[in-house]
Amino acid sequence: MEFLTYFSHVFEPISLLLLVGGTIGGLILGATPGLSPTMAVALLIPFTFHLQPSQGLILLGAAYTSTVAGGAVSAILLKIPGAPANIATSLDGNEMAKKGEGAKALHLAFMSSAVGGIFGVLLLIFLTPTLAKWALAFGPSHLFWIAILGVTVIGTLDSQSFVKGLLSGCIGLWLSMIGYDDIQGAERFIFTDALTGGINIIAALIGLFAIPQVLDMMSKGRSLSAVGAIKVQHQSLSSSFREMIANMRALSIGTVVGSIIGLIPGVGGQIAGLVAYDQSRKFSPDKDLFGTGHPEGVIAAESANNAMVGPSLVPLLTLSVPGSPTAAVLLGGLLIHGIFPGSDLFKNHAAVAWTFIDSMLIGQVLMVIFGIYIANLAAKVAQVPRSVLAGGVFILAVFGAYSVQQSMGDVHVMIVLGISMYVLEKFGFSAAPLVLGLILGPIAESNFLQGSLIAGAQDGAAVYFLTGTLNLFLIFLVISSVAYAFWSTKVADRKSDKQTASGGR
């Protein structure tokens, strides 16, 4: 029950202010289509540089939780999911809003988000220390395989093409090697002065997640007009609460499905929401009502996508393997403060880790309170023209990238990486595995070199890296993740061939 000790730290004035600010800001950003939770967290990282580690993490954690929930506002009132995690919410949420039940849909979305979110964070609280202690037994060879596992799992699960997903991971690993080698001091892949110190992780995160979205908005040109939001009428909170309790089955399915999916690295909120929605429909006696404005659909989807948030941090905080792209950005936020996840985190930085986790618990409650009251404002902000968003995000990205090291080189790196990522995404490559490669590359390399030195004094590298129960288990996981992705790509290809053939007849 160590987490109870640090609750008071969350209520320190600056921490509380950041938690409230992060929650409100996250709700508004989350409601804005085109601004993903990952991008919002990436853009916030430069600001955390000037804060204490626990305060910085409180801000990032609040933004992560509330952007996922905030996406429900535009999904319900505009039928435009604020983030991929809210796609399932729009199916019934918008239909409810059209029927004049917008307020009820929003209440149900935020309340079930909070229930799912609290369950997810409790899972994080009880699983993380145990797994972190288990991680103490890991040596360099295991840590090397875990880093490789992080890249392959996200590379294969987050991408539509497993070859391109793995290639994205390789590009990230290569980018992580640019700069001076830590041990020999040798120059590696330095093509320009801007790369002398290697690629700054924050500039890279901003470039890889923000610039492609800016370019995507610009690529749609001047043709887009604002979408009208459905007005929200007053609705009593207690009746919405009773409605949520009456739909306990959907709430439980969403919470459990979201929590399990969150624990699997790389799967993410979109899958959590859609799977929970689908399962809830299968188990419901009112199957036919789904898609027509049925509260169960909103409850299942929203409890799942927020239940996913806490568990997605379990592999991150214990093994350095982020459970989602946003968790990968959070890892970047930890590393810039010199904090390494794993057993070290709970041993040497217990106050930082527990304050952060506790803040996520309190953040769920704040999210309901503010979410319900600022939904109308968030819906207005969600209608901000794309031209303003594109220009604003670009300037903020440039200022943020520059402010980390006061270097124009970082701005250039950010823009070049961002433009390259936009083009790569158009060809099926994915930013998440690339970022994972970039973040986990130094961890993989240092453990590989350390392991090689130990292996030199023992039975050789092959024995050291390829034998032992834990090594074999991790290698099995690496191979399984690749094999599974290969198999699912083949199945998808066959299905698409069949559809093309039947469509051609």
Residues that bind another protein (CB under 8 A): 47, 50, 159-161, 163-164, 166-167, 170-171, 173-174, 177, 181, 183-184, 186, 188-189, 215, 217-225, 385-388, 390-392, 394-396, 398-399, 402-403, 406, 408, 411-412, 415, 419, 423-429, 444-445, 448-449, 452, 493, 496
CB 481 within 8 A of CB 153: yes
**Shortest approach of another protein to residue 214 CB, angstroms?**
8
> In angstroms, rounded to a whole number, what is the distance separating the alpha carbons of residues 275 and 184?
49
**Shortest approach of another protein to residue 284 CB, angstroms?**
34
**Shortest approach of another protein to residue 18 CB, angstroms?**
13
What burial letters (b/e) apply to 122-150, b meaning 16+ CB within 10 Å?
A: ebbbebbbeebeebeebebbbbbbbbbbb
**Shortest approach of another protein to residue 194 CB, angstroms?**
11
The residue (of 242 and 426) whose beta carbon lies closer to another protein is 426
> In angstroms, rounded to a whole number, what is the distance separating the alpha carbons of residues 420 and 430?
11
Helices (H), 136-235: 140-157, 162-176, 201-219
**Shortest approach of another protein to residue 78 CB, angstroms?**
17
Among residues 180, 195, 437, the alpha carbon closest in space to that of 332 is found at 437
**Shortest approach of another protein to residue 90 CB, angstroms?**
24
Checking 347-355 for CB contacts under 8 A at 24+ apart, the result is 349/53, 350/2, 350/6, 351/6, 351/9, 351/54, 352/53, 352/54, 352/57, 353/317, 354/2, 354/3, 354/5, 354/6, 354/9, 355/6, 355/9, 355/10, 355/15, 355/54, 355/57, 355/58
**Shortest approach of another protein to residue 368 CB, angstroms?**
28
**Shortest approach of another protein to residue 5 CB, angstroms?**
31
The residue (of 21 and 100) whose beta carbon lies closer to another protein is 21
**Shortest approach of another protein to residue 391 CB, angstroms?**
4
The residue (of 173 and 276) whose beta carbon lies closer to another protein is 173
The residue (of 298 and 444) whose beta carbon lies closer to another protein is 444
The residue (of 169 and 297) whose beta carbon lies closer to another protein is 169
Which amino acid is residue 231, in one-letter code?
K
The residue (of 138 and 429) whose beta carbon lies closer to another protein is 429
Write the DSSP assignment of 350-390 as a string of letters: HHHHHHHHHHHHHHHHHHHHHHHHSHHHHHHHTTS-HHHHH
Neighbours of 175 (CB within 10 A): 22
Neighbours of 473 (CB within 10 A): 12
The residue (of 181 and 459) whose beta carbon lies closer to another protein is 181
Q: Are strands 179-180 and 187-188 parallel, antiparallel or unpaired?
A: antiparallel
Which amino acid is residue 473, in one-letter code?
F
The residue (of 335 and 455) whose beta carbon lies closer to another protein is 455
Most distant CA pair in the chain, distance: 73
**Shortest approach of another protein to residue 403 CB, angstroms?**
4
Among residues 70, 84, 112, the alpha carbon closest in space to that of 256 is found at 112
**Shortest approach of another protein to residue 410 CB, angstroms?**
11
Taking the mean position of all CA atoms in its chain, how far away is CA 93?
23
The residue (of 313 and 401) whose beta carbon lies closer to another protein is 401
The residue (of 395 and 466) whose beta carbon lies closer to another protein is 395
The residue (of 228 and 392) whose beta carbon lies closer to another protein is 392
**Shortest approach of another protein to residue 27 CB, angstroms?**
19
Among residues 168, 156, 161, the alpha carbon closest in space to that of 266 is found at 156
> In angstroms, rounded to a whole number, what is the distance separating the alpha carbons of residues 449 and 357?
33
Beta bridge partners of 187: 180
Helix (H, G, I), strand (E, B) or coil at 187: strand
The residue (of 291 and 392) whose beta carbon lies closer to another protein is 392
> In angstroms, rounded to a whole number, what is the distance separating the alpha carbons of residues 73 and 225?
19
**Shortest approach of another protein to residue 457 CB, angstroms?**
16
DSSP type of residue 29: H
Among residues 228, 212, 225, the alpha carbon closest in space to that of 420 is found at 212
Helices (H), 32-52: 37-48
CB 272 within 8 A of CB 85: yes
The residue (of 16 and 449) whose beta carbon lies closer to another protein is 449
